[in-house]
Amino acid sequence: MSLAEPPDKPILAVDVDGVISLFGFEGPPEEAPCEFQLIDGMAHCISLEVGERLRRLVPHYELIWATGWEDRANDYLLHLLGLPELPVLRFGRSARFGSAHWKLTPIGEYAVGRRLAWIDDSLDESCHEWARERSEPTLLVPTESHIGLEDAHVDTLIGWADRSGADVAGESEDERIEAISLRMAGLEDEDGAARRGGRARALRSRFRRRLD
Q: What is the distance between the alpha carbons of residues 183 and 190, in angstroms, rounded to a whole number? A: 11
CATH fold of 11-19+48-171: Rossmann fold (3.40.50)
pLDDT, tens only, 147-188: 999 999 999 999 999 985 555 555 655 555 555 544 554 444
Per-residue pLDDT, 48: 84
> What does the pLDDT average to over 65-77?
95
Per-residue pLDDT, 10: 97
Confidence of residue 28 (pLDDT cuts 50, 70, 90): confident
Per-residue pLDDT, 8: 77
Residue 84 has pLDDT above 70, yes or no: yes
Residue 6 has pLDDT above 60, yes or no: no
What residue ranges do the domains of the chain occupy? Answer: 11-19+48-171
Residue 59 has pLDDT above 80, yes or no: yes
Per-residue pLDDT, 187: 40
Can you name the residues that pair with 62 across neighbouring β-strands?
11
Lowest mean pLDDT: which of 6-10, 48-52, 73-77, 189-193?
Answer: 189-193
DSSP for the chain, please give it: -PPPPPTTSPEEEE-SBTTTEE----S-GGGSSEEEEEETTEEEEEESSHHHHHHHHTTT-EEEE-STTTHHHHHHHHHHHT-----B---TT---TT--GGGHHHHHHHTTTS-EEEEES---HHHHHHHHH-SS-EEEEE--TTT-S-HHHHHHHHHHHTS-HHHHHT--HHHHHHHHHHHHHT-B-TT--B---HHHHHHHHHHHHHH-
